[in-house]
Amino acid sequence: MEILWFLFTVGLIGVIVVPWLRRRRDGIRLVDPGAPDAADPSAYGFLRQEELDVRMPGPDQDLVDVLDVVQRTQDWRAASQLLAGTDRDGEVRWQRVQAFAGAASLELQQQPGTGGAWLRTWRAEQPKDPGGAAVHAEFLVQQAWRSSSAGTDDFRIILEEARTVCGEAALLAPGDPVPYIIELAVARGLGYSHEQFDQVWAKIIDRAPHHMGAHLAALHYWCEKWHGSRRDADRFATAAAARAPQGSLLAALPLFAVFEHLPEVALVQDFYGTEVVSRAMQGALYAVHSARPDDPMLAHVRHLLIHFLVRAERWAEAMHQLVHVDGHVGALPWTLSEDPAAEYAIHRALAVAGYEANGGSPATLPH
């Protein structure tokens, strides 16, 4: 099961190299959780660093159980059954498709030539299974971004195949937005024009107009490092947030847009206290407070909020988010670090220390 640590970030967020997480942390003094004067996270019921689950942003026990069966038996049927019983237009189906594809992709990396055989068998024995086609398409996308350099012939060949399989998956499940969401990663890799992108995006909007995962995938396309600019990305995120219905996490999208451009703008003094960042954080906090408690994307937003709130020294608000997500750390920004649990634990220790330095204690923290 160790193969799951990246399962929501490889496809949902894409394979993005963000060097700022491995450089100095914007001048913030880091607290060593083991130092004698450091606050003790365990006093708040938080798990020790070695106990943190780096596989997923939040719990999905059905997925974990099925992946265990598939990997242990190399039988694809349980995966097919799980996807068949998952709502087509929801976030969970998209995340589970990513998980199965990521599992097969890493198995192949660990066992060249033989790993992930269950996915090949799935496609061979049930070529008309829409779940299998979607997982295959996502598998190809992850293979392209993880094993080939962007712009090379191998990269383009794999993504062209992924585009073909996306088309097959779409035909097998006409109402399913997932094949088109997968194609958004193909779009940025193959350099779709804005007109080509709009055609794919229109099909997603027709099927799932408020799909958070789809909007995050589209955001990557509009970012400057792909085909747009910072202004394009900000405009896209702001427009989506403005159209978001009550209870939608799309109100948090501008914070993800800010995060996408941190390498460009993080040199601004007191960046985390600027109006742009503060406004994006407030939108994300509003989204979190308004969302359903069982929204499958809620943990993603909370994890990103923790990063921003800690760096803005908004300790009490950071602690409130930590209470809800502690235990699972398989989300941005932690998964961009070589040691996600350690990166998370550092921010958590900062939050605890800052909270207590300002009069907070386990007794004053609401759960």
Q: What is the pLDDT of residues 163-173, one digit of tens each?
A: 999 999 999 99
Q: Indicate if 181 and 215 belong to the same structural domain.
A: no
Q: 53 pairs with which residues across the strands?
A: 328
Say yes or no: 189 and 288 in one domain: no
pLDDT at 143: 93
Q: Report whether pLDDT(135) > 50.
A: yes
| pLDDT, mean of residues 232-244 | 94
In a domain, 243, yes or no: yes
pLDDT tens for 89-122 read 889 999 999 989 989 998 998 999 899 999 999 9
DSSP state of 128: T
Residue 16: pLDDT above 50?
A: no
What band does 226 get if pLDDT is binned at 50, 70 and 90?
A: low
Q: State the Cα–Cα distance between residues 97 and 118, nearest whole angstrom.
A: 14
pLDDT score of 24: 32
The answer for residues whose C-beta is within 8 angstroms of residue 110's C-beta and 6 or more apart is 3
Q: Which stretch of 18-22, 103-107, 130-134 has the lowest confidence by average pLDDT?
A: 18-22
**362 preceded by cis ω (within 30°)?**
no
Quote the domain boundaries for residue 188. 61-208
Distance CA 84, CA 88 (A): 9
Q: Do 223 and 362 belong to one domain?
A: yes
Identify whether residues 75 and 160 lie together within a single domain. Answer: yes
**Across residues 144-148, what is the average pLDDT?**
82
Do 197 and 239 share a domain, yes or no? no
Dihedral pair phi/psi, residue 247, rounded to 5°: 90, -5
Residue 1 covered by a domain: no
Q: Where are the extended beta strands (E) located within the chain?
A: none
365 and 225 in a single domain? The answer is yes
Verify that 179 and 216 share a domain, yes or no.
no
Q: Please state, as a whole number, how many other Cβ atoms lie within 10 Å of the Cβ of residue 312.
A: 18
pLDDT tens digits, one per residue of 321-344 = 999 999 999 899 998 888 999 999
* Domain-located, residue 5: no
Between CA 98 and CA 67 the distance in angstroms is 12
Measured between alpha carbons, how far apart are the two ends of the chain, in Å? 30
| Alpha helix (H) residue ranges in 173-297 | 178-190, 194-207, 212-222, 230-243, 253-260, 262-265, 275-290
How do residues 270-279 score in pLDDT, each as one tens digit?
888 889 999 9
Q: Among 208, 236, 252, where does a domain finish?
A: 208
The mean-pLDDT minimum among 15-19, 71-75, 159-163 falls in 15-19
Residues 50, 342: Cα–Cα separation, whole Å: 9
**Measured distance CA(240)–CA(253) in Å, rounded:** 7
Q: How far is residue 91's CA from residue 84's CA, in Å, rounded to a whole number?
A: 14
* Six-digit token string for 26: 């914007």
Q: Does the pTM exceed 0.75? A: yes
**pLDDT band, residue 88 (cuts 50/70/90):** confident
Q: What pLDDT, on the 0 to 100 scale, is given for residue 10?
A: 42
Question: 21 with 76, same domain?
Answer: no
Mark which of 208, 223, 248 sits at the end of a domain.
208
**Structural domains of the chain, count:** 2
Domain end (from 208, 241, 260):
208
pLDDT given at position 51: 93
CA dihedral over 123, 127, 130, 136, signed as positive or negative: positive
Q: How far apart are CA 87 and CA 3, in angstroms?
A: 25
Shortest CA distance to 340 belongs to which of 101, 33, 84, 52?
A: 52
Same domain, residue pair 22 and 114: no
Give the Cα separation of 159 and 74 in Å (integer): 26
Assess whether 147 and 259 both reside in one domain.
Answer: no
* Interval 281-294: pLDDT, tens: 999 999 999 999 99
180-190: per-residue pLDDT in tens?
A: 999 999 998 99
Task: Give the pLDDT band (50/70/90) at residue 263.
Answer: low
